[in-house]
Amino acid sequence: MTQITPADAPPPASDAIIGPDGLARPRWASVDPMLRDYYDTEWGVPVREEQALFERISLEAFQSGLSWAIILRKRPGFRTAFADFDPDRVAAFDENDVARLLSDEKIVRNRLKVRATITNAQAAVALREHGGLVDFVWSFQPDDTPRPQRQADVPTSSAASVALSKALKKVGFVFVGPTTMFALMEAIGMIDTHLLDSHRRGSSGVWG
């Protein structure tokens, strides 16, 4: 009997789903039209503008412990409630705004996360004296990116996300743990965790 060595073994099968349009996507982006559109048009696209990046950091914090679908459905409400995530305006929110937000059914009404968003806006504004939020976050882009064949191959944190988390906390951010920051890095194109056979693999232009 011929022995198959690890080098000769076939690669693991992908668990990407081929949609009616013939395009391969991960399972999480293959059923819900809202998630499919988000995956096809936004997830993994580089974000290099302060207000947009602050929004992503804020929404990733609100997502902690919840599904991303919940946050995405509520995003219009979040944008209205948080002044389109303008850091200057959010940084100026007071206790009346906190009370307003906690009574707003169109967002996730979590007191700690609401206060964290205000705190993070203040930290983002302060960072302008040191190069700004965008350059700060992108300075933690790693030298390599995952190359997952299956969704199970995608890690949930990395050395870079741990370092980014620690650095953000040092300059005043909260609710920015390593797992949350890894999700941010995926969402803003700092790393490419699209499955290798996904139609979106390499589409960010960051990793070729």
Cα 124 to Cα 90: distance, rounded to the nearest angstrom: 10
Helix ranges restricted to H, the chain:
33-41, 50-63, 68-81, 87-91, 95-102, 111-127, 133-138, 159-170, 178-187
Tokens 């190359």 — which residue? 147
Q: Is 50 a catalytic residue?
A: no
Which tokens go with 174? Answer: 């909260």
Query: Which one of the listed residues 60, 138, 186, 207 is annotated catalytic?
Result: 60
Q: Is 38 a catalytic residue?
A: yes
Cα 112 to Cα 45: distance, rounded to the nearest angstrom: 29
Q: Is 39 a catalytic residue?
A: no
Catalytic residues: 38, 60, 68
